[in-house]
Amino acid sequence: MLDTLQILFWSLTYILIIIASFKNYSIRTISIPVIACAFNFSWELVALWNSQGFWGHILWAGLDIFIVLFAVRYMSKKRDKIILLFSLLVGYIILFFVFQLTNGMLISVFVIDVIMAIAYVLEFNKMTPTLKIPIAITKLFGDLFAGLYYGISRPLIGVFAIIVLIFNFIYLVLSLKEWYMIGNET
């Protein structure tokens, strides 16, 4: 049940990121840090390959394609696009080998979650405010359910899950503070 909930909430997160990207077409801003976009898509491709078609990985890889396309489209510098695509390729190659290790798939996804959660906080001001709070909430719950499902019996994963939740909570608080400040600018 917890695994299904984390799939549901992360799927909602991806959908919200895509909707925010559509809404921000004129200002060309995405709602995911570029490093998170690259690592996440690389992980999904390797996971899809290794799972031999698990529905959650099919869904996420499909949604990630749209997120990556928006990221590439909204980048103004050719150099940034090359860096993103190079990061995707290198990430894929590294993760392909990491997945072969015992618990490599599980450990790598939580390491990427830590990187992603930290990147969201560090790049907070670079991202659009469009749907920032719903994204923060769905991301937080997706990671909470994943942490509960995988982290209870695995101490290292539990530590990663706690770090992710702390940074997700910080991101949510920053999002709420930004929303409050925008609403009280008058």
Domain ranges in the chain?
Answer: 2-180
Kindly give the residue spans of alpha helices, DSSP state H, lying in the chain.
Answer: 2-23, 34-51, 55-74, 78-98, 104-122, 132-151, 155-183
4-32, pLDDT tens digit by residue? 898 899 999 999 988 888 876 666 667 78
Query: What pLDDT is recorded for position 28?
Result: 64
**Contact indicator for 95, 144 with CB cutoff of 8 Å:** no
- As a whole number, mean pLDDT of residues 48-53 equals 84
**Contact indicator for 124, 117 with CB cutoff of 8 Å:** no
Residues with Cβ within 8 Å of 84's Cβ and at least 6 positions away in sequence, in order, are 34, 37, 38, 68, 71, 72, 75
pTM above 0.75, yes or no: yes
Residues with Cβ within 8 Å of 185's Cβ and at least 6 positions away in sequence, in order, are none
For 71, the 3-state DSSP assignment is: helix
110-150, pLDDT tens digit by residue? 999 999 999 999 988 887 778 889 999 999 999 999 999 98
